[in-house]
Amino acid sequence: MNLSELTESMEQLLVERNLRRMAELRPALESGYVLRAGRLLADADSVLIGTGFPVLETFETDGPLGAIALYKALEQLGKKCHLACADPLAGALDQDFEVLKLQAFDLDSARREAESMLATLKPDVVVSIERPGLAEDNRYYNMRGEDISIRCAIFDYYLTLSPGSSVAIGDGGNEIGMGKLQAEVSALDIHGAATSCDELLIADVSNWGAYALVAILEALTHTRLLASVEHHETLRYLSERGSIDGVTRENTLTEDGLPASAGADLLGQLQQRLDEYDPSQENEKV
């Protein structure tokens, strides 16, 4: 299996369950997006990763789990990383990670915050993983159609104003980056996000898109990364800090209503594909 076949296989795997009709959106994306996003990250020196979708008065497991996995993989590769999120997630993570606390809830303040922090941190790539995206009316909505703007610090400008590249992962259509497929998302029964990005990854669970990025980084850098992803351990870590499942709204070791074993199985399938990858088939410099 060469790199093109590897990324094609991963992209198909990520939407295999088609939980929120992401498989129907996939043909609208130019194939190879996992590889292209991975190359952006492999070439970067500094990466800013935004995550955290508010549910009730706390945060859901989908998003932070994948963000932490990607953060650790990039650090292993010598990249400078920051996690961008708002409270209560920011406070839950700041003892263990470099955290940029998002604090702006109105558009003007958010633009100023993004301009200032982008100038300070100078990220080569800004990544959004399951972060709510502004709809066309500049409001935020969850999958139930509820307006959750009052609980959403604004991260969109970090992608749209960044002089570097942007990568986003979504699984339903209301996340940052899904504006890249705005016409297709408009056919779904949701308030879709309008904010776009350079490279969009879609998945049945956004965490799994981040796991695919870790896998492709392993292939690109010839550095063992995927086996270090601590799926169950990170779920427990987040649960102890108040996470809830975004679907059930319960503090359980689950993602979007799926048991922890589903994410573990996905990691195993990504590893199988990596094991089938043959670097000797590549004629280009990766």
Walk along the chain (286 residues) and give the pLDDT tens digit of each residue: 999 999 999 999 999 999 999 999 999 999 999 999 999 999 999 999 999 999 999 999 999 999 999 999 999 999 999 999 999 999 999 999 999 999 999 999 999 999 999 999 999 999 999 999 999 999 999 998 999 999 999 999 999 999 999 999 999 999 999 999 999 998 888 999 999 999 999 999 999 999 999 999 999 999 999 999 999 999 999 999 999 999 999 999 999 999 999 999 999 999 999 999 998 887 644 4
**What are the structural domains, with CATH classification, of the chain?**
3-279 (3.90.1640.20)
Claim: this prediction has a pTM higher than 0.85: yes
Compute the distance between CA of residue 164 and CA of residue 266 in angstroms, rounded to an integer.
30
Compute the distance between CA of residue 170 and CA of residue 209 in angstroms, rounded to an integer.
8
